[in-house]
């Protein structure tokens, strides 16, 4: 188990460190990249050597963070995991560097404590909030570039201040970052306004297949493997679609049925707080959380649909 | 022309007033309703008689604001226009009450000054920001209900802190409202996650008609009058769609062509900062702002399209 650190203790260790390796989680998102990039620029500002390591490529949209990737240019003297909730999230490609982590900075309450020292704030909407507190405690200047990195982490993890993890503190930090020169107009444009052509193609297919059941309390969309292939959509485009049916007015159960390359059906169930998504999926061999669960079904699409609707009806009656 | 008022002068007039009629603009949005509702509850808390007047019905989604509509229950002693940028926006149905407006509270820089006194802050992202400053200056308690009303105004006018009008002050006020008890988790769900079935039907039609031109630098969607009628969509559903083509990755000019009941084509042009939407529309008899403009075209859809694409090409070359 990790030693639990407060901000000041974590800061004093970081200030003593050099040749710092900042490690992101695989399939990197705005928070792990933004937090690592902010730390990278702050450490560099203190005259330290630092670089960022990630098992997967950093998406091109985050190029403005100007981070320097680790390519073996120094022997790491101190390794920091940023926003990595568990060791399985590092990815095999970076295994040789993640056996011993000196410090983990994270906001996932489930973090098991795999690092020597753990700076955890489960109330923080994003790890970038914790990094902001850390840099402020250090008296580090929040440059416009650092502000951009931190704003990216906070805004992406909160769906631009829309998700339920957004707190008053989140908005207060956003205000400080804007005053520090964050280019929020450009960032919001890049991060939230822009949709890929693949994503729109998937949305079109989803809307064309949209069905309502039980007087509009359940909405269902279907994606065949051929449609997904034709749309030229990336995994991230397809994963985002699962919130679509649930976000329709009056819908309590939103279901996305996606045919897999081998022919089986991957089912995502999203519900309002009163309906138990995990229960619906548990009866079909799957599971998950109360409002977000999944299962995999074999056989024909009609059979899959009938099985799903039977469980949905039971769940709606239990309500 | 109006007398230009500072917060304290506007406040002193409001505190002297009674039987206050708060007037929203027609086709009311979250800001005009939220600002009026916050003032209504604050004035009631001060023991005053007040009510809210609007030419159009208040959408059901805003029922949580618990505002009291004006139905002639008192003779107005003081009339306040809230978020109404010009007299033409009151609507004919309320004309007998809007001939003389005592005070106008607004954030539209274009406000011509039709009221006796004008409290205007063109830098405010929403009129609700100005009402927050007003209530704070008055020392009025921001109750959770008032916080909900103001949060609604601010979040809807900024697209949940995403649009370019969002400032550090916007986030600071949001933080204060959350600390005052605003139910932001529920509000964000109602205001931003939920889409009407009519809106989705319109999105489907839009995506089915989506065309790319000039190597993806221009995207165009078409809505016929029959499609709009079949979709069962409300005006608000259709107006929101105009941002869709512009928000596609790589698109610099997004165009929405909507057939009107009489057969003409209403065109909305949205552009990135580098392309002049107003110039495109000016050549077609329309006008507007640099990034958002419009025009109306007669004749066949093919002719309208050709005329539009000719102007788009010129604008893209001028860039």
Token look-up 């997004």 returns: B254
Q: Would you give the end-to-end CA distance of chain A in angstroms?
A: 41
Instruction: Give strand pairing partners of B295.
Output: B267
Distance from C-alpha of B223 to C-alpha of B265, rounded to nearest angstrom: 9
Cα A307 to Cα A45, A215, A318: the distances in Å are 59, 18, 17
Sheet holding B218-223, edge to edge: B211-213, B218-223, B253-259, B265-271, B292-297, B287-288
Tell whether B204 lies on the interface with A, counting CB pairs under 8 A: yes
Among A118, A120, A140, A141, which Cα is nearest to A129's?
Answer: A120
Walk along chain B (319 residues) and give the pLDDT tens digit of each residue: 899 999 999 999 999 999 999 999 998 999 999 999 999 999 999 999 999 999 999 988 899 999 999 999 999 999 999 999 999 999 999 999 999 999 999 999 889 999 999 999 999 999 999 999 999 999 999 999 999 999 999 999 999 999 889 999 999 999 999 999 999 999 998 898 888 888 899 999 999 999 999 999 999 999 998 988 888 877 767 777 888 999 898 999 999 999 988 889 999 999 988 899 999 999 999 888 888 889 999 999 999 999 999 999 999 998 7
Exposure string over A129-146, b if 16+ CB within 10 A, otherwise e:
bbbbbbbeebebebeebb
Q: Confirm whether pTM is higher than 0.90.
A: no
Are B188 and A216 inside 8 Å of each other by CB? no
ipTM: 0.84
Closest chain A C-alpha to B127 CA, distance in angstroms: 19
Are A208 and B203 inside 8 Å of each other by CB? no
Q: Would you give the end-to-end CA distance of chain B in angstroms?
A: 39
Tell whether A186 lies on the interface with B, counting CB pairs under 8 A: no
Count of helices and strands (H, E) across chain B: 11, 12
Among chain B residues, the shortest Cα distance to A193 is held by B247
């Amino acid at each position: 188990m990790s030693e639990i650190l407060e901000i000041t203790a974590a800061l004093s260790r970081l200030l003593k460190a050099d040749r710092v390796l900042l490690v992101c989680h695989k399939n990197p998102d705005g928070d792990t990249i933004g937090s690592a990039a902010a730390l990278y620029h702050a450490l560099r500002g203190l005259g330290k050597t630092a670089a960022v390591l990630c098992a997967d490529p950093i998406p091109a949209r985050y190029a403005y963070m100007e981070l320097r990737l680790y390519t073996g240019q120094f022997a790491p003297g101190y390794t920091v995991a940023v926003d990595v909730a568990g060791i399985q999230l590092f990815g095999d490609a970076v295994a040789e560097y993640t056996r011993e982590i000196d410090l983990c900075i994270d906001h996932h309450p489930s973090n098991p404590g795999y690092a020597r020292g753990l700076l955890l704030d489960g109330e923080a909407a994003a790890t970038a909030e914790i990094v902001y507190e850390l840099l402020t405690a250090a008296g580090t200047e929040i440059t416009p570039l650092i502000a951009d990195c931190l704003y990216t982490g906070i805004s992406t993890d909160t769906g631009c201040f829309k998700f339920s993890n957004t707190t008053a503190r989140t908005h207060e930090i956003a205000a400080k970052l804007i005053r520090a020169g964050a280019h929020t107009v450009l960032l919001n444009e890049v991060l939230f306004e822009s949709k890929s052509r693949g994503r729109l193609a998937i949305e079109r297919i989803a809307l064309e297949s949209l069905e309502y059941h039980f007087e509009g309390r359940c909405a269902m969309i279907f994606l065949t493997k051929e449609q997904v292939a034709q749309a030229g959509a990336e995994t991230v485009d397809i994963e985002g679609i699962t919130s679509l049916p649930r976000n329709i007015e009056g819908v309590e159960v939103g279901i996305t049925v996606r045919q897999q390359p081998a022919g089986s059906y991957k089912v995502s169930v999203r519900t309002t707080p009163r309906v138990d998504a995990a229960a619906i999926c548990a009866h079909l061999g799957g599971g998950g959380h109360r409002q977000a669960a999944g299962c995999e079904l074999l056989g024909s699409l009609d059979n899959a649909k009938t099985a799903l609707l039977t469980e949905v009806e039971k769940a709606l009656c239990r309500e």
